[in-house]
Every structure is written in C-alpha cells, then in structure tokens.
C-alpha cells in the first residue's frame, strides 16, 4: 500500500536550494505554506539551513526515519542518490528531475540504473520527470509537489500522467471553491503506477470520486483489472486524450504505451469509467459526483426563476439524452396553491423572478415527491428584490437528505451574494455559472447511471470449435515465415471456429478447378491461392461470377499463364450475390488483446465510417450493442416493410471471432470483408488473416 | 437612432420606491452605484425623496427634460403613465413591469393600449416585461436596469431577449474581467426591437462585437436585413436557442414569433452571424473577438510549456477543423539556437517548463513570421521557478501588433500571479482556464473567417419559366378551396418551371388511359387524380409498373370500381426504375419565405435524416453546398468506380424550385419525393404541392 507515500511522517529533499526560483526551494516553501504536519529535512552539502529549516549534507546524516525523499538534482547524480536513500532506509523517493527515458537511450539507461538500485533496497520510486503528490488530510497536509495550488480538504482525488493537466484540474476545483482529497502526478511512472494509485484510492474512504488523466497505458490489462475493481466502488472520471490522430501522435511522441483513441475509450467503457472529451466538463461533473447521489433514471424536474436559461438547459439536457416529463395532477394541485399566479406550474416549474423561499421550497419538494422524476435541475438567478438567502437555506435543507441529485445553475455576482453562495456551498449543492454547464453535469451523472447499470452480459464459450486446428495452422504459418495466410488456411480456421463462409474447395489443377466448380454449383469465383500473391486482383489472380465449366477452365488457364513461375493452388468458392454487405474484423493491440469491429460494408463503411468496436472477449450483450450502435442499424433490423438480416447470426459470428482471437492471440488482424447478410443466414465471402 | 435611450441625460422612474427589496428602489441604487452622469428623477406620489434624491409626485412635475423614464407600477396603471410621459415629452420609456402580452388576452389589450398612446406622442417604448439598458461609456454610465452586475467599459455589446440569459452573459464577462460596452434586454419588445438595437450598435465604433440571444423572431425579414448590414461591419455571435424540439417548445410557449430550430440557424448562417450551441463557448469566443484579429486560415502554431495540455488542445483544434502544420526549416534553425536542449522545436513548440522570456519570445516571433501559420495558440502554465512576468511582457509586446490572433490557455492561480495576469490582460491576450476552452475560442475565430469569406454566389433568374401559368393554377385552386393540388396541377406547375419529371398525361377514361400509356411507352404508373383523394395508395388509387395495355385497362377498370361515386381523372405517367433516390422540398415559414430542402431519399432520409436546408432564394453556391453537405454526398459524386449523378441537374432543380416558391409564395409545401437521379438526368417521379 502507498500509505508511506501519501501519509509521510517525514519528508527529505535532496537538492534543497536557497535559490527562490528553484524547485529545490519551492517544495520546501509548499510544505511549509500548506502546514505540513511532519518533519522536513532539506539536504544540501553546503547550506546549513533552507527557509529557516536545518539542512543536512547528506540523506545519510538525517537523524530520523524518512518516508518520502524528493530528488531534484541533475539526472546523472540521481542513481547514487537513490542508492543513498536505500541505505538510509527511505521508503519512497519522488524524483522530480527530468532527463531520463523521455529523452532517449542515454536517459533510459540512467532510469534503468536507479530503478535497479531502488529494487535492491526496496525503495519505491515515484516519477521521475514528475510533480509529486499532495494529501489534504488535516492529519498530514503533505504537499510534496512544486505546483502552486493549495486546495482545501474534500472528496475528489486527482491522478494525472501530465503535471500540466493535473495542475489545470486542481486549480479549477480551487477556483470553484471545491475541496480535493489527494493528488498525484507521476510523470514517467517507472515504478509506482497510475493503476496502483487508483487502487489505493479505491480503499480510501474520503475519496468519493477519482479524476484521471492518462495519455498512454503501459500495461492495459493491469489497468483494466484495477479499473474494474475500483469503478465498482466509486466513480472514476477520465479524459479521452489523444482521440484525434494528431492528438494521439502528440501523446505517443513521448510515451511507449497504448495511446489515446479507440482502445482507451473502449477500456474506459468496458471497465465502467466515465470518459469526457472536455476537461472543464469533466471537472464540473466531478463537483456533482462529489456531493450528489447518482440519479436512477433520465427524467429531470426543472425549476427556474427565469425563462431563457430554462430553454438553454432544456436543449442541452435533451441533447444529452435526458427527458423533462410532465408532472402528475397531484403535483399540479400542490403547485397551484403554493405558486404565484404568473408562475408556470408544470415541468419546467417557472416560479418567476419574484419567487421567494416558500415558492422554491414547494417546487423542490414536489420534484422530490414525484415518482416520475429522477433528478432536479434548478435555474436560480438572484434578483436584487428577493431574499435569496432564505431561498438558499430551503434548497440546502432539501439537498442534505440526498434523495435525488440537485444541480443548480446559479446566476449571481458571488461577492455581492456571499452569504447565499456560502449556504448553497455548505448545503453541498453543485453550482454552475451557465445553464448549459449545469445541464452537462447532470447529463454526466445520468450517463454514469447508465454505464453502471448496463448489463455486462456473458461471454459464450463455444465448445464446438477446434482450437487445436487453428493453432496448428497459425504455428505452421509462423514457422514458414508467412505473414498473410493463404485462403485455404484462412477458411480452414473459419471452419474450425464454425464461422459460416461461402462453400469452397482448394485444388491444384485446372481440371480439378472445373470439377470443384461443378460440385459447388455455379456461379463460382476462383482465386490463385499462395501466400506470395498478396494483391490478388491487381495480379490477375481473381475471376468472379464464372457461370459454367468453360468459363472456369478459361479463367484458370489464363491465371496459369499470367502467374507462370509462381506456385499456387486454385481456391474455388461459391459466388454469392445479394444480401446486405457487412464487415467484421479483429485487430491485436499490444499488451491488451484484440479490438473487434462490426460495420456495414461497401459504401457505408467507406462514406459513413459506420462501424462499432469492442474489446475481446465480447459478451452477448456487447455483440448486440455493437450491431445496434451503428447508424444504419435500423436497416439491419428491417425498415420500410423490408425484412431485416439474421441478427442472431451476426451476434454469434462476433462471439466466435472474439473466441478465436482470444484462443489464438498470434492473429494480428482478421477481416471478414464482406459478409453477405440475408434474412436467414450470414456468410463470409472474403476473408483475410495476418499474423 | 437610439441615442436618447442609450445616452440619456436624465432618467426618471415612475414607481420609485423606498422599499429596498423592490425594483423601484434597485434601479435608483444601480444608477447611483454605477455613477450615472445625468439627472435622476424618482417619481412617487408620497415620498419626498428616495435614496436621498428628491422625488416628484408625477412625471409632469419634473422640472427638466427626460430622455428615459422607467415604469415599474402595476400593469393596469401603465397606459396612463405612458400617456403622462407623452405629455411631458419623455423620449423613451422602459417598462419593466410584467403582465402584458406574455400573460394572455387581457394583458395584450393593455399592451396594445400603451403602444397606441406611445405612438400618439412619439414616445419610444422599450419592453415591457424587461430589464432595461446599460451603457458603460464613461460620459454616461447609464444603468437603467435592475440587474446586479457592474461591468467595466469594453467593446462587447450584449442584446438578449431573455433577461436571465443576458445577466448570465454579462456576469461571465465581469467574472473574466472583460469589459462591456452596452447592454439591452427588451423582453416583449413591443416597439424598440432587437434588430433596431443591433443596427444602432453597428454604427457605434466602440462596439467591436455584438453578442445576441434571441428566442424568436417577430419579423425575420427585417432581422435579416439588419443582420446582413451589421455583420458586414463587425462580428455578431448568437446562441442557437431552442434547437431541440423540447427547447423550441419552451421558447414558443411565450412568444408568437419564429422560434428556434432550423430556420433561425439558416438565418444566422446566411446573414453571417456565428452561431453557438453553448453560451459559455459563445462568451469565451466573444472575449477573443473583442481583442484579436480574425485569422486568415486554419493553420495554428502552438507553443506550450507543458505536454498534456498540448494534447488536449490538439484534439479540440483538430476536431474543430484546424490544422497544426510543421514549421519551415528556417524556423527550425532559429529555434535550435534559441530553445533549451530539451525543447521540442517543431509545431507544437514545447519550450519546456523552465523556459523564460527569451524562449517564449523567440517561439512566438517564429510563429508570427511563418507564412504557413495563421494563428497562435499558447499553453502557459506559471511555474513557481520561472520569471513569469517577463514572459507575459514579451507576449503582450508581440500581441499589440495584432499581426495574427493569439489565444492563451493560462494555467495559474491568479491571486498569486497578479502582475503576470495584469500584463497579459492589458496586452489584450485572451486567457482561458482550460486547454479545450482556449482551443474552442480559436476554432470560433477560424469558423468566423470561413463564414465571412464564404462566396455567397448568385441567384439565377430563369427566364424560360411561365410564372403566369403557375400563378393561375394556384389562384384557381385557392378559389376552389383546394389545399392539396391535383397531380395535373402539380405537374403543370413543374412543367411551367421546367422542372424535369417523368412524362405524363391526364385523361378521363379507361380507353384514353390505355392510349396515353401506349404513347408514353411502357411500363407506366396510373393514379386516380382528384383533390379529394388524398392518401392515394391507401385508397387503391395507384397502380405501378403496368407493362402492357391489358394491365393498364385492368388497373383502370378496378380503380373505377373502387372509387365509384368519386369524380376523378386518370393520371398516367412513365414508370421509371433505377437511379438514386433524391428528395427536394420547400416549406413556407411565416414572415420569412421558404426553407428549401435537399436529401437522399429512401432509407437515407428515413434512417440517417440525411438532409440539408437553405433559405430561398438559394444561390448557385448554396445549392452546391446543400448537395455537398449531406453525409452521403460522396455517393452522389461517385465512389468505388461508380459514376456519380448529374450534380448540375440537381443544382438547377434546387434553383428552379427556389425561384418557383419565391415567385408564388402561396405555395406552403412542395415535395419532389422521390426524384430519380441518373448520370445524365434527374426526374421527379412523385410530387406534391400544398397551398
């Protein structure tokens, strides 16, 4: 556990400096300014004291035990410093110094050196090239970091691979007057990792929400294990960083891990982490998560004392998938008694600008009592002619029972309405400056409800497959140094996993090709099958829609002529037409497993990029979701009186492909493109496997 | 002109009150607190003074001239007050009181009453049911409003139909320490209208940007005239309010105008107003517009002193359509000399956290000099070990030349970096709290460049049309009280406007139907044509794909049997198949003209809602854009070796339809659904006109 890192009783600093504009000075200043409860040991071979604290020439001279030792000296001196820390029995070092793995081979060697020494002595290493940690717990007040925000205690913990993003997030909570629990930004993360920190916070009762910024995952499987475990206990909110190609390139440029894009997104969704495209939205959602219960559904009750912001909020809520249902007759009856004559007494309830505490209280009570309302959105502008403090008091009173989440767009000048602001704040009501911003926070709460209550489904285990055969084919190809499998290998593997394809035969002569065609039935397609012929169409190695033996013979003879000198077989396959074109594929991601893809083929994938992804192993629920989530899904299910395709068949193929790539992970890429989908069957008519 | 409203030398207040929590007191307080430069005349029949200012029993007792008189007394007393103001020679009244048109018939009558009286005396009316106006001009400091934000002078002017939204926007600029020029929220807008205010600000040199919130347009054509005129002079930013069905419903519930949704969006785009879905994004963009030049293109140069925020910014910029191109060799050469060894010297330039003024200056100079860079995005975190004030000074120095827009994600704790913040602020560099937020502001600047530099194109005027014939048909139908035109009327109108359709004949007997089919050529479709048979398919009034005379005779006979008793003709038309299905339509909007629609028919419109809209008259450029902007456009242009459709033909049909509905505005709805599009022709095969 990381107790000695986040709850240090003594902090040392190798490289403590008397120079004010230096990291070695700023960290000491931060520890003091944050009122750190433990002992500080500046280490400096020359200075007798730093910022009035006695300094020691070496970590080995320090009289007491040391839980955390910062190292802020030049890179080449770091390995020896870690060794010294080991000898001293320091539990953790935070290496703020940069210039290691992120700078190339030489730096990496240095990093490996101190990692080894750390291991030898059992010293845990945080960093290098990092900011450090903060713990606002009043018992510790540990500020082992050179950044500049001094947060008050709270329930949000932040872990960020990038110190810059971590600082932005922490500062935003500070600006919003929202407390923070712990903070960690561990840069190169050579030892103590982000998943390890998340797991630690999973067991920290005071951490109610974890905010995560990660650009790349060194060990995606470990990350997933931890994410499953912790996300089951408390919300984890994360940025989708590097989701554009350019952004991902920027992210990978200084990391070796799995960066950005599709895979990270899928990992988040699969493990129950709520992902955001915008850091501000994520922060503002975190504020709501830290104090509000999760709504049980999508139905919002809106209360407003001004018209326009209700329109803006409605747009944003509806676009976010929420509903603003009408209220019951019972509710209307109550409101008719309590509201002003000019009020609007359905949903939204417009209490009007002159509404005071009784009107607001009645409106919010009604929303709490309505069965068909899951959450409450309030627009509260502070009119100078209304006793706003009383209004705030009523809202805070209702909020404290936490029956349903309350989100407030609070439109005011805070310095003028200081007391009102304080009452709302202490009542734990998340307040936002814009109707859309408040609405987005509520959308996030609701999306989280959906994410958490989503049935995971089951991974089907098909026992009718022949794993040994598939493995043998792949092993054989690997031994022969083949990258792209031959058609016969591909279709044999599909057959071994009972993945339906157009019937086929593999033969070695023109005569046998004709015989094969006769037995398969016309029309057929024939291909010159050899791992050496990659771009078959260009090479003249494909002839489609051959309708009789003459056409087959002619095509086969021509192929032999064109490809003379190359050794190949004839792959003869039933030529199918009609049906709707589908694509199913799988692709290996380093250290993670496979992404499985589903889409509509032809112009749909080309023009609309109409595809969906999941991480293998794909459950039955996920396979169905993959199909339902493409834009053209209604076409597959049947529109305009047309019958749909054999959805169950598509689900099963996705499950079987998922099992195949999980059983035989050497498969790097697999494409069934296209499959033809009919009402009663789906068959692959072209397939490709790369190992 | 509205000078006397926005630059009043004397303000009176009918309904001035000694009660602190009242509008009649708050407005006096605001005028005083804002240091209003003119004279204040509280009107109160009893109190000798209000807040220490001499009060008068009636407006008629006021000794001096009055430019603006607030009216905050109960609704039923307002008409007499307006009459009194007229007698006194008051130039403008601001009626803050609510309870008029927005409350139903009785209120509307009261409103009409005082509008009449105002007209009689030449008193301009602002409101009712409104906040009022603010002018920060140091010469006036007019705060004729009961809201609570006291902005400093600046260059952004705000007009909002909703006072609540206006207050949110104004307060946000205040919180951002950004100045404001003028403010207006005119509620019911019974006389002085939003377009009139926009036109006034168009001529106000100190207003550099106009921020607009409008929920509904009473007179869309007038609005468009003004918007064209003013948007050509300065940026207008507007909220897209009521863009969901639910939001639009909320907006129309208390207005009678054209609310939200598609039409407003089209008006904004056509007139050159930049529209936003999010109010916060709009405000943050306005800050950039107020101080920065418009970029000449999409190419961003990024400078960063921290890694993560550069990734987030990259994602947001790229998603917004911007590019981050590599720098020239020349630039790299300069940067190699000026940057630290650990810096990254292409785009983004990562100056690294330890960078000081010389590094930042060189980086920003390089971006200014690079020809392939149109704007500069800066991530500036304030490290406690760097002289940030010097960095800020360099940035401000470069910014003041306004060669290219600079946007800054400024990551700091402002109270600690007060001087740095001040330098950036005075340097006019727009600073934001999040990388994504800053990036979105830059995206908005770039989108505005695109909007303004977009070629409008020309409205083609087809002289080969027969307007008289179309008008005669519509007039005839109107006289007969027909709502849905008969097929022969519809196709005669299409023919009059040379809109190609499948060839057709109208006949009155079975024999003639057969003869018509023979002359058109098989296959044909026949329909029982009568304005009384609306749902033809359901009524058995349509028979398609008739291949010979027997089939035509049988179908016609059957129709006569089914529809016996009804008077109808046979509409016989060539039955076409193949081709890609298109939809073209037009729909009248009250006081505005017609929306013209284009889309792909069949499953595409059904599943993907793949349609685009424009306001008639549609220019050639716009017609092309309509076609290019649908998702399936590549299919129309040709993909996968398939030839595309006759695009020019589609453009011309859109132009002819636009001319038709502009020439004959009585057409309420027109649908060509479907048209069949081939390589060399496009023909309507079904058409409908509603008047």
> According to the model, what pLDDT value does residue B67 have?
98
pLDDT at B258 over 80: no
Structure confidence at residue A257 as a pLDDT band (50, 70, 90): low
Q: Is the CB of B315 less than 8 angstroms away from the CB of A244? A: yes
Q: How confident is the model at residue A256 (pLDDT cuts 50, 70, 90)?
A: very low
Q: Is there a contact between B311 and A433 if contact means CB atoms under 8 Å apart?
A: no
Among A176, A214, A312, A639, the strongest candidate for a mutation testing the B interface, having the largest count of B CBs within 10 A, is A312
Whether A137 maps to a domain, the answer reads no
Is the CB of B241 less than 8 angstroms away from the CB of A315?
Answer: yes
Residue A548 located in a structural domain: yes
Question: Could you tell me if residue A585 is inside a domain?
Answer: yes
State the residue range of the domain holding A64: 1-131
User: What percentage of chain B carries pLDDT values higher than 90?
Assistant: 87
How many domains, chain A? 5
Inter-chain residue contact B308 with A98, CB threshold 8 Å: no
Whether A138 is in a domain gets the answer no
> Which residue on chain A is closest to B638 by alpha carbon?
A603
Q: What is the CATH number of the domain that holds B513?
A: 3.30.1490.20
**Token pair belonging to A440:** 């987005």
CA distance B534 to chain A (A): 21
B314 vs A250, A311, A606: nearest CB: A250
Question: Does A223 score more than 70 pLDDT?
Answer: yes
Per CB-CB distance under 8 Å, the chain A contacts of B309 are: 162, 164-165, 168
Instruction: Please give the order of strands across the beta sheet that includes A142-144.
Output: A142-144, A132-135, A182-185, A156-160, A209-213, A236-239, A274-276
Task: Name the 3-class secondary structure at B668.
Answer: coil
DSSP state of A583: E
Together in a domain, A394 and A476: no
Per cent of chain B over pLDDT 70 is: 99
pLDDT value at B253 more than 80: no
Instruction: Compute the half-sphere exposure of residue A656: CA atoms within 13 Å on the CB side of its CA.
Output: 23
Q: Residue B369: is its pLDDT beyond 60?
A: yes
Would you give the end-to-end CA distance of chain B in angstroms? 40
Same domain, B126 and B40: yes
Interface TM-score (ipTM) > 0.95: no
Taking residue B268's Cβ as centre, other Cβ atoms within 10 Å add up to 25
Residue B260's region, left for phi above 0, alpha for psi from -120 to 50, else beta, is left
B550 alpha-carbon distance from chain centroid: 57
Query: Which whole number is the average pLDDT over B488-506?
Result: 96
* pLDDT given for residue A252 in this prediction: 66
Give all strands (DSSP E) within B191-242, no chain letters.
209-213, 216-217, 236-239
pLDDT of residue A54: 97
CB-closest option in A277, A385, A607 to B634:
A607
Note whether B480 and B522 are same-domain residues.
no
Residue B124's pLDDT is what? 98
Q: Give the per-residue pLDDT at B256.
A: 46
- Mean of the pLDDT values across residues A406-414? 97
Among the partner residues B26, B103, B342, nearest to A342 by beta-carbon distance? B103
CATH value at residue A86: 3.40.50.720
Sign of CA dihedral B564, B567, B568, B569: positive
- Residue A58 in this model has a pLDDT that exceeds 70: yes
Is B167 close to A387, i.e. CB distance below 8 A? Answer: no
* Residue of B242, B305, B437 with shortest CB distance to A311: B242
In whole angstroms, what is the distance from residue A42 CA to residue A69 CA? 9
Residues of chain A found within 8 Å of residue B26, distances taken between Cβ atoms? 384-385
Secondary structure (H, E, C), B83-141: HHHHHHCCCEEEECCCCCHHHCHHHHHHHHHHHHHHHHHCCEEECCCCCEEEECCCCCC
Do B252 and B239 belong to one domain? yes
Rounded to the nearest angstrom, the minimum Cα separation between A659 and chain B is 32
Look at residues A291, A316, A332 and tell me which one is the last residue of a structural domain: A291
What CATH number has the domain bearing residue B635?
3.30.470.20
Average pLDDT over residues A673-685: 95
Q: How far apart are CA B396 and CA A164, in angstroms?
A: 22
Cβ–Cβ below 8 Å for B277 and A315: yes
User: For B670-682, how does the pLDDT look when each residue is reduced to its tens digit (9 = 90+)?
Assistant: 999 999 999 999 9
Q: How many CB atoms lie within 10 A of CB B577?
A: 9
The model's pLDDT over A8-48, given as tens digits with 9 standing for 90+, comes to: 999 999 999 999 989 999 999 999 999 999 999 999 999 99
pLDDT value, residue B615:
94
- For residues B15 and B83, membership in a common domain is answered with yes
- Residue B141 in domain: no
Q: What's the pLDDT at A255?
A: 47
Contact state of A602 with B640 under an 8 Å Cβ cutoff: yes
Confidence of residue B566 (pLDDT cuts 50, 70, 90): confident
**A612 forms bridges with which residues in the sheet?**
A598
Residue B104: the pLDDT is 87
Q: Chain B: give the shortest CA distance to residue A369, in Å.
A: 24
Contact yes or no for A378/A431 (Cβ under 8 A): no
Q: Is residue A139 part of a domain?
A: no
Q: Do B21 and A384 touch (CB under 8 A)?
A: yes
Mean pLDDT of A372-400: 96
* Average pLDDT over all residues of chain B: 94
Question: Could A168 and B434 be called an inter-chain contact, meaning their C-beta atoms sit closer than 8 Å?
Answer: yes
Residues A54 and A167 in one domain: no
For residue A654, pLDDT beyond 60: yes
Confidence of residue A262 (pLDDT cuts 50, 70, 90): confident
Q: Looking at residue B350, which CATH number applies to its domain?
A: 3.40.50.261
Q: Are residues A419 and A446 in the same domain?
A: yes
Mean pLDDT of chain A: 94
Task: Examine the fold and report which residue of A575, A601, A631 is the final residue of a domain before the chain moves on.
Answer: A575
- CA of B107 to nearest chain A CA: how many angstroms apart? 12
Nearest CA to B398 out of B372, B379, B371, B424 is that of B424
Cβ <8 Å between B306 and A639? no
Closest CA to B277 of B290, B269, B265: B265
Which pLDDT belongs to residue B252? 66
Distance separating alpha carbons of residues A89 and A67, to the nearest angstrom:
9
Alpha carbon A294 to chain centroid, angstroms: 20
Share of chain A above pLDDT 90, in %: 87
Q: Do B385 and A21 touch (CB under 8 A)?
A: yes
Query: Over the stretch A590-610, which tens digit does the pLDDT of each residue have?
Result: 888 999 999 998 888 888 888
Does A183 fall in a domain?
A: yes
Instruction: Tell whether B159 and B264 lie within a shared domain.
Output: yes
Sign of CA dihedral B333, B339, B342, B346: negative
Stretch B86-112: mean pLDDT? 95
**Optimal mutation site among A19, A276, A285, A384, interface B, most CBs of chain B within 10 A:** A384
Q: Quick one: A43 and A163 in the same domain?
A: no
User: Tokens in use for B368?
Assistant: 């200014």
Q: What pairing do the DSSP bridges indicate for beta strands B504-507 and B569-574? A: antiparallel
Instruction: Read off the tokens for A370.
Output: 């309505």
Give me the helix-helix angle, B307-319 and A245-252, nearest 10°.
Answer: 170
Same domain assignment for residues B49 and B74 = yes
- Give the residue from A258, A276, A291 where a domain finishes: A291
| Judgement on whether residues A555 and A406 belong to the same structural domain of the protein | no
* Residue A361 and residue A248 in one domain: no
| Cβ-defined contact of A382 to B165 (cutoff 8 Å) | no
Is B251 a residue whose pLDDT tops 80? no
Residue B135 lies in a domain: no
**A259 compared with A72, residue with greater pLDDT:** A72
Q: What value does the mean pLDDT take over residues A381-407? A: 96
Q: What is the DSSP letter of B609?
A: -
Tokens standing for residue A153: 């205690």
State yes or no: pLDDT of A314 exceeds 70.
Answer: yes
| Segment among A646-655, B56-65, B99-108 with least mean pLDDT | B99-108
């Amino acid at each position: 556990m990381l107790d000695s890192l986040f709850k240090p009783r003594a902090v040392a600093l190798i490289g403590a400096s008397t120079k004010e504009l230096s990291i070695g000075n700023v960290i000491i200043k931060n520890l003091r300014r944050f009122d750190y409860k433990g002992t500080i040991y500046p280490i400096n071979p020359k200075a007798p004291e730093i910022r009035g604290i006695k300094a020691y020439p070496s970590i080995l001279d320090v009289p007491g035990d040391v839980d955390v030792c910062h190292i802020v000296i030049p890179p080449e001196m770091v390995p020896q410093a870690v060794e010294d820390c080991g000898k001293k029995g320091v539990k953790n070092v935070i290496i703020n110094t940069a210039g290691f793995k992120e700078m190339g081979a030489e730096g990496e060697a240095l990093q490996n050196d101190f990692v080894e020494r750390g291991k030898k002595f059992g010293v845990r290493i945080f960093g290098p090239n990092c900011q450090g940690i903060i713990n606002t717990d009043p018992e510790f007040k540990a500020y082992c970091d050179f950044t500049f925000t001094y947060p008050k205690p709270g329930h949000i913990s932040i872990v960020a691979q990038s110190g810059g993003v971590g600082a932005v997030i922490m500062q935003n909570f500070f600006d919003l007057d929202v407390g923070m629990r712990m903070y960690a930004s561990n840069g190169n993360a050579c030892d103590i990792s982000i998943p390890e920190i998340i797991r630690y916070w999973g067991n920290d009762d005071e951490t109610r929400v974890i905010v995560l910024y990660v650009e790349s995952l060194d060990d995606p499987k470990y990350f997933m294990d931890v994410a499953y475990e912790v996300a089951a206990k408390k919300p984890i909110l994360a940025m989708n960083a590097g989701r554009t190609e350019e952004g991902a390139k920027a992210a990978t440029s200084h990391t070796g891990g799995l960066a950005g894009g599709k895979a990270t997104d899928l990992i988040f969704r699969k493990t129950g982490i709520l992902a955001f495209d915008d850091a501000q939205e994520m922060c503002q959602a975190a504020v709501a998560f830290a104090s509000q219960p999760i709504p049980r559904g999508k139905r919002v009750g809106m209360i407003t004392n001004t018209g326009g912001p209700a329109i803006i909020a409605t747009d944003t809520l509806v676009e976010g998938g929420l509903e603003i249902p009408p209220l019951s007759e019972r509710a209307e009856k109550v409101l008719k008694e309590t509201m002003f004559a000019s009020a609007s007494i359905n949903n939204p309830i417009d209490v009007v600008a002159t509404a005071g505490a009784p009107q607001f209280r009645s409106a919010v009570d009604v929303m709490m009592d309505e069965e068909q309302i899951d959450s409450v959105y309030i627009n509260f502008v502070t009119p100078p002619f209304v006793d706003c403090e009383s209004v705030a008091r009523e809202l805070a009173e209702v909020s404290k029972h936490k029956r349903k989440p309350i989100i407030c767009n609070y439109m005011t000048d805070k310095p003028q309405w200081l007391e009102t602001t304080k009452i709302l704040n202490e009542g734990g009501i998340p307040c936002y400056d814009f109707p859309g911003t408040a609405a987005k926070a509520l959308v996030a709460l609701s999306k989280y409800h959906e994410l958490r209550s989503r049935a995971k489904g089951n991974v089907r285990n098909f026992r009718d497959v022949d794993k040994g055969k598939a493995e043998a084919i792949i092993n054989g190809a690997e031994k022969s140094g083949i990258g792209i499998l031959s058609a016969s290998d591909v279709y044999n593997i599909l057959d071994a996993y009972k993945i339906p394809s157009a019937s086929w035969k593999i033969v070695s002569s023109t005569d046998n090709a004709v015989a094969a065609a006769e037995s398969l039935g016309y029309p057929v397609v024939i291909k010159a099958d050899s791992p050496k012929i990659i771009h078959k169409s260009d090479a003249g190695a494909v002839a489609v829609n051959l309708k009789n033996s003459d056409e087959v013979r002619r095509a086969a003879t021509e192929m032999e002529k064109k490809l003379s000198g190359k050794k190949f077989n004839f792959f003869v396959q039933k030529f199918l037409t009609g049906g709707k074109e589908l694509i199913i594929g799988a692709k290996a991601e380093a250290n993670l497993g496979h992404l499985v893809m589903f889409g509509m083929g032809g112009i749909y994938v080309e023009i609309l990029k109409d595809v969906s992804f999941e991480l293998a192993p794909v459950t039955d629920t996920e396979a169905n979701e993959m199909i339902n989530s493409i834009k053209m899904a209604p076409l597959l299910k049947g529109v305009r009186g047309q019958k749909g395709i054999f959805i169950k068949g598509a689900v099963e193929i996705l499950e079987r492909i998922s099992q195949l790539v999980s059983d035989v992970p050497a498969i790097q890429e697999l494409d069934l493109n296209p499959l033809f989908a009919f009402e009663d069957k789906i068959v692959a008519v072209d397939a490709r496997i790369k190992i």
